[in-house]
Structure 1
Amino acid sequence: MDREGKKKSVAALNEVFTKTSVVVVAHYKGLTVAQMQNLRKQMGAAGAKVQVAKNRLVKIAIDGTDTSSIADLMKGPTLIAYSDDPVAAPKVAVAFAKDNDKLVILGGAMGRTALDVNAVKNLATLPSLDELRAKLVGLIQAPATKLAQLTTAPAAKLARVFAAYADKDAA
């Protein structure tokens, strides 16, 4: 990579580190190309991205950003997974690491907060933003549904009483 290419790479990485909410760092030594493509596909489906970059360029790019705490993790064959959703990248990375022992999660960062391996795993257990939104909509809709049931309940009870009297008279 020439000097101009390195500058563009550092600028792109710096943009990633300033705009994303969570970054996960992992070793990928031993993963096949097919496994790496599968990881990229799973991350893409969850709204996250995976990138392999030179450690030196990553260290230059994170200098002065909120995620500068991951500089110590950038040793060996590392990849970074990142997403705007604070749960998407950790969730996919942890699930993929369970199936493939070649992917070893080292840690990460969420804003200024440094994450160790256990923190990344705990973050992966949280529901995603879409799941939280769905729960919230369900909670908002529940009272309206119950109110509708209550307003129709007296009429239904009356209909059952009339049906019971009709059956009694017919017998």
Structure 2
Amino acid sequence: MDRTEKREFVASLGSVFADTSFVLVAQNNGLTVAAVDDLRRRMRAAGATYKVAKNRLANLALEGTRFQGISPLLKGPTALAWSKDPVAVAKTAVEFARGNDKFVILGGAIGTQTLDVNGVKALSELPSLETLRAQLLGLIQTPATRIAGVLQAPAGQLARVFKAYADKDGSSEGAEAA
């Protein structure tokens, strides 16, 4: 990389750090090209980005951002993964690490909060953003359904009472005619 490419890389990584909510740091020492391609494919499917970055350039991009706490993790062959949905990145990384011992999660950060390996694993056990949205929508819809049922109940009861009177009047007229 020449100087202009390095400046562009630092600027693009800095803009990523400004836009994202979660950054994961991992070591990828000894991963095969096929394994890295598989990890990138999984990350992309989860809506995340995975990039191997030079530590010095990543540290320059981290300066002045809310993710400065991960700077000490940038030692040796490291890679960064990020997404707006922190759970998706954590789940994908933890799943991949279970099947590949050469991929080691070092930690990460959600905003200014720095996470260690256990924090990332705990984050991966949370439901995804889509699942949480579905659960929230279900909670919101449940009271509305109950309210609709309660509001419809008196009308249904009135209809049954009118039907009972109608049946009673119809059966007494039939008895008088005989």
Tell me the distance in 2 between the aligned counterparts of 1:15 and 1:140: 36
SS of the residue corresponding to residue 75 of structure 1 reads coil
Deviations 1:14-34 (CA, angstroms, capped at 9, x unpaired):
111121110000001121111
Which amino acid is the alignment partner of residue 64 of structure 1? G
Corresponding residue number in structure 1 for 2:130: 130
Which amino acid is the alignment partner of residue 67 of structure 2? T
Corresponding residue number in structure 2 for 1:72: 72
Corresponding residue number in structure 1 for 2:2: 2
Deviations 1:25-82 (CA, angstroms, capped at 9, x unpaired):
0001121111111111111111111011111100111011110111111111110010
1:51 aligns with 2:90: no
Tell me the distance in 1 between the aligned counterparts of 2:126 and 2:62: 26
Tell me the distance in 2 between the aligned counterparts of 1:145 and 1:90: 35
Deviations 1:64-113 (CA, angstroms, capped at 9, x unpaired):
11101111111111100101112121111111111111110001111111
Corresponding residue number in structure 2 for 1:112: 112
SS of the residue corresponding to residue 87 of structure 1 reads helix
Tell me the distance in 2 between the aligned counterparts of 1:144 and 1:44: 37
SS of the residue corresponding to residue 64 of structure 1 reads coil
Corresponding residue number in structure 2 for 1:166: none
Which amino acid is the alignment partner of residue 40 of structure 2? R
Structure 1 stretches of 4+ with a deviation exceeding 4 A read 146-152
SS of the residue corresponding to residue 86 of structure 2 reads coil
Aligned identity (percent) is: 54
Deviation at 1:144, TM superposition (A): 3.8
Corresponding residue number in structure 1 for 2:168: none
Corresponding residue number in structure 1 for 2:27: 27
Corresponding residue number in structure 2 for 1:89: 89
Which amino acid is the alignment partner of residue 55 of structure 1? N
Tell me the distance in 2 between the aligned counterparts of 1:103 and 1:75: 14
SS of the residue corresponding to residue 109 of structure 1 reads strand
1:141 aligns with 2:141: yes
Which amino acid is the alignment partner of residue 141 of structure 2? Q
Tell me the distance in 2 between the aligned counterparts of 1:149 and 1:11: 57
* Number of aligned residue pairs: 158
Gaps of 5+ in 2: 165-178
Tell me the distance in 1 between the aligned counterparts of 2:19 and 2:144: 39
Corresponding residue number in structure 1 for 2:60: 60
Corresponding residue number in structure 2 for 1:98: 98
Tell me the distance in 2 between the aligned counterparts of 1:60 and 1:17: 12
Gaps of 5+ in 1: 163-171
